[in-house]
Amino acid sequence: MLQEIARGALSKMRIELDSPVRYQLPLGDQLLPLNDWIGKPIRLEFLGAINCTHCGRKTKKSYNQGHCYPCFKKLPQCDQCIVSPEKCHYHEGTCRDASWGEQFCFQDHYVYLANSSGVKVGITRGTNIPGRWLDQGAIQALPILKVATRLQSGQVERLIGEHVTDRTNWRAMLKGEVSPLDLSGERDRLLQLCAEGLTALEQQYGLQAIQRLTDAQQLEIDYPVEVFPTKVTSFNMDKNPLVEGTLMGIKGQYLMLDTGVINIRKYTAYQVAFSG
């Protein structure tokens, strides 16, 4: 019989690069070492309450991974430019919070290639390496360019995105249908294809604004998975509050049970009880 281990507000899993990757589930004031539960039955039960991660207000629906609607509409970290950094509007004087923008957007960002379900391009702050890649379930990753601001990283990503996707096929990622790639070779190919566009950006922002990382090493990542699902069925806590089964593996922000998969990040701020 399963016993309750912890309860509280759900947050995205904390991930530590190791072989295999190590996961902890924040729940209330506890951190549950999830690797220890692989091969064992677990249960997550949604308790019916969602509290905004920013203001604590009770909300019927979570917006942008854990926010109430008023916070979603006013916070800079919920603005459209976070998803599409090439739409940064700080220079127009319309940033939702200029001090927040100066802290998070005017720092070095990295353009990278990752292999989650095939090669993709992405961007992240240096402080999010390698966490960004682990969150996406990438089995390989390689930083290829360092740029001075988030806006510039978005412009470069859009340029490279004309030749390679910026999205992950999450079903293929979870099924383990991912073949190893030579990301260094992909980097050289893509930079050659984008040479004219990159030169134009350098002329606009200065030669030091975009730095090529030709010496960067490809990172190989191993996840704690005993059995990959052959068919991916997602749990929906809004429709069924109970998620239970044997934990077969963890990849990205997904728990992979023998009964289905659940994206933990999607349910940020949900009040949940964990039993095992």
78 burial via Cβ count (<10 Å: 0-12, 13-18, 19+): middle
Domain ends where: 179, 199, 220? 220
Element (H, E) at 82: helix 80-83
Element (H, E) at 254: strand 254-257
Measured CA to CA, the distance from residue 217 to residue 144 in angstroms comes to 10
Measured CA to CA, the distance from residue 175 to residue 139 in angstroms comes to 13
The tally of domains found in the chain comes to 2
Check whether residue 87 and residue 134 sit in a common domain: yes
Asked if 54 and 75 touch (Cβ cutoff 8 Å), the reply is yes
Cα–Cα–Cα angle for 48, 80, 114, rounded to 5 degrees: 90
Burial state string for 174-202 with b = 16 or more CB within 10 A and e = fewer than 16: bbbebeebebeebbeebeeebeeebeebe
pLDDT for 226 equals 97
Domain ends where: 204, 220, 236? 220
Per-residue pLDDT in tens (0 to 9) along the chain, 276 residues: 899 999 999 999 999 999 999 999 999 889 999 999 999 999 999 999 999 999 999 999 999 999 999 999 999 999 999 999 999 999 899 999 999 999 999 999 999 999 999 999 999 999 999 999 999 999 999 999 999 999 999 999 999 999 999 999 999 999 998 999 999 999 999 999 999 999 999 999 998 899 999 999 999 999 999 999 999 999 999 999 999 999 999 999 999 999 999 999 999 999 999 999
pLDDT for 55 equals 96
Check whether residue 206 and residue 149 sit in a common domain: yes
Check whether residue 118 and residue 164 sit in a common domain: yes
Measured CA to CA, the distance from residue 213 to residue 150 in angstroms comes to 17
Measured CA to CA, the distance from residue 172 to residue 194 in angstroms comes to 28
Check whether residue 187 and residue 84 sit in a common domain: yes
Check whether residue 180 and residue 208 sit in a common domain: yes
Q: pTM for this one?
A: 0.94
In a 13 Å sphere around the CA of 67, the CA atoms on its Cβ side amount to 15
CB atoms within 10 A of CB 275: 16
Measured CA to CA, the distance from residue 7 to residue 271 in angstroms comes to 7
Check whether residue 48 and residue 89 sit in a common domain: no
Check whether residue 103 and residue 120 sit in a common domain: yes
Kindly list the distances between the CA atom of residue 2 and the CA atoms of 21, 41, 42, 261, 276, in Å, as whole numbers in the listed order: 26, 8, 7, 19, 5
For residue 113, the enclosing domain spans 72-220
With the C-alpha atoms ordered 165, 170, 171, 175, is the resulting torsion angle positive or negative? Answer: positive
Measured CA to CA, the distance from residue 140 to residue 220 in angstroms comes to 5
Check whether residue 79 and residue 177 sit in a common domain: yes
Domain ends where: 220, 242, 262? 220
Check whether residue 64 and residue 77 sit in a common domain: no
pLDDT for 275 equals 97
* Phi, psi angle pair for 174, to nearest 5°: -75, -30
Check whether residue 214 and residue 91 sit in a common domain: yes
Check whether residue 162 and residue 148 sit in a common domain: yes
Measured CA to CA, the distance from residue 183 to residue 140 in angstroms comes to 8
pLDDT for 230 equals 92
Check whether residue 119 and residue 46 sit in a common domain: no
Contacts of 204 (CB under 8 A, 6+ apart): none
Measured CA to CA, the distance from residue 91 to residue 80 in angstroms comes to 15
